[in-house]
Copies of this chain bind each other. A is one copy, B any other.
């Protein structure tokens, strides 16, 4: 049988499938259906230095080919996460990727400083879609220069490998990827949600503006993964609209070393274990002994 395990920043992951940040609670919420140890790695909800309340409702809305969310980064803060939830992952020996953000550069740096290296922590994942308060609310991930600066500083502070998670709403995502690479980034997570809005024609209003995720995002994310993985020589985690194992394999072939699954879990809470199983089946059926045989195969 094929092995679908992989080494990611020196740590062994059972498989290349993770949850997308913000779509699998804080820790044990999924346990009545399946265990987090099923995952290649668990990605935390976006964490900030201080707890954050988030946006008023409505926070989620259904859209034909996906969904819109405007959670507003609600979270209990890094400290409470490590006190209350991290021990659960230690008990379950599940590798963790810590997604974090800040509203100022200092907050990003303080976050990175607070997170201590641990056998289980595979990487930090910097969410660069967060609004930069000092820059009038424009997100950090929009300009190559801003990305370069913040990545450089974060890399100077933490010994843990750092992934930059990029937003698709930019002039050219490859330029952003290059800037992060030049600043020393260890890997990229592509992509975050795409800004979007809903009109409720019955009530004649725009009930929600927020981030669009789900199947509609897939070809946009695939292109980002394909172009960026050709442009920069660091591992990439693909995310956006992955609903089944074929979608996951598409991302691997486009150049991703691992994938994350978000909205699919809301449609089918067993989506992640099914995708993991499906990748294994794909590998067996196609005589693929090792995922490296297909990662980036479309580049040739």
- Asked, given contacts A64-B65, A218-B64, whether A223 binds B201 with beta carbons under 8 Å apart, the answer is no
Q: Whole-angstrom distance between the alpha carbons of A195 and B246 in the complex?
A: 21
Determine the main DSSP class of A at the interface with B: mixed
Q: Does A116 contact B (CB under 8 A)?
A: no
- Asked, given contacts A142-B171, A206-B254, A298-B206, whether A219 binds B201 with beta carbons under 8 Å apart, the answer is no
B201 touches A253 (CB 8 A): yes
B199 touches A220 (CB 8 A): no
A65 touches B199 (CB 8 A): no
Nearest opposing residue in chain B for A217, CB measure = B216
Q: Does A91 contact B (CB under 8 A)?
A: no
Select A206's contact among B215, B216, B226, beta carbons within 8 Å.
B226
A197 touches B254 (CB 8 A): yes
Q: Whole-angstrom distance between the alpha carbons of A65 and B223 in the complex?
A: 16
Residues of A169-223 at the interface with B, using a CB-CB cut-off of 8 Å, are: 169-172, 194-199, 201, 204-206, 209, 212, 215-220, 222-223
Q: Whole-angstrom distance between the alpha carbons of A216 and B240 in the complex?
A: 13
- Asked, given contacts A142-B171, A172-B138, A218-B64, whether A250 binds B212 with beta carbons under 8 Å apart, the answer is no
Nearest opposing residue in chain B for A219, CB measure = B196
Nearest opposing residue in chain B for A169, CB measure = B171
Q: Does A249 contact B (CB under 8 A)?
A: yes
Q: Whole-angstrom distance between the alpha carbons of A199 and B242 in the complex?
A: 13
Residues of A253-300 at the interface with B, using a CB-CB cut-off of 8 Å, are: 253-254, 294, 297-298
Select A216's contact among B143, B198, B216, B251, beta carbons within 8 Å.
B216
Q: Does A66 contact B (CB under 8 A)?
A: yes
Q: Does A124 contact B (CB under 8 A)?
A: no
**Which 4 pairs across A and B sit closest by C-beta, in order of nearness?**
A216-B216, A65-B65, A196-B219, A197-B223
5 A-B residue pairings within 8 Å (CB atoms): A63-B219, A66-B219, A195-B220, A201-B249, A215-B216
Chain A: residues with CB nearer than 8 A to chain B? 63-66, 68, 138, 142-143, 168-172, 194-199, 201, 204-206, 209, 212, 215-220, 222-223, 226-227, 246, 249-251, 253-254, 294, 297-298
User: 8 more A-B contacts (CB under 8 A) besides A63-B219, A209-B223?
Assistant: A66-B216, A170-B170, A196-B219, A197-B226, A209-B226, A215-B216, A216-B216, A216-B217
